[in-house]
Structure 1
């Protein structure tokens, strides 16, 4: 998104640009999550057919560790998707780009770096 003065934020262009960006990011995350879900299903299916004692395998990580790592990554992506869903709702209601604490505009650079940002830099701490 391109930055600009506050009057530019009030216009349809800012909201449309923000909506397009957020929707692209949401679609990308949904696709990545679907892939990770498939990976988890394959990993679970493979471990059911295996008699391997992976806990004592000196060659690498255990299957349980790999599952936990994938589950953690998936949970992080789901959380980010929820943040983007919330950003989409703020766009729809016209509050996107305003700090949830002070109501002032969130800097364009912050929104470019974190499109789901709810607060300005001052209140992000």
Structure 2
């Protein structure tokens, strides 16, 4: 698998800027991780502690590789589990804590996320291609 320092890895990471849906998801996970880190680890929310920085890098890398692309559902409704178990639990903890607080700190982002929660996850991309 390409990493962010290889040309293919940089191409993948550019999807976070080029695809609006992935850009929104990336910004949401950045904000949630920053707020969580600020509360629990005493950071300013922008300069994360090493553990939160490592998790965010992992989450963004997984997001950049999302096979759904622009049709990506919210992670909680996704039919593909792309996080390792430990990182999945970290993501749950961050989202469980930061999600409700997002309404007060970033109301527009929270509203969009709530709308996204109502959408059903599309079929797995590989299954869709096999049926065509």
Mark yes or no: TM-score above 0.5: no
- Could you state the TM-score of these two structures normalised by the residue count of structure 2? 0.28
- Greater RCO structure (CA 8 Å; 6+ sep): 1
Structure whose alpha-carbon radius of gyration is higher: 1
- Could you state the TM-score of these two structures normalised by the residue count of structure 1? 0.30
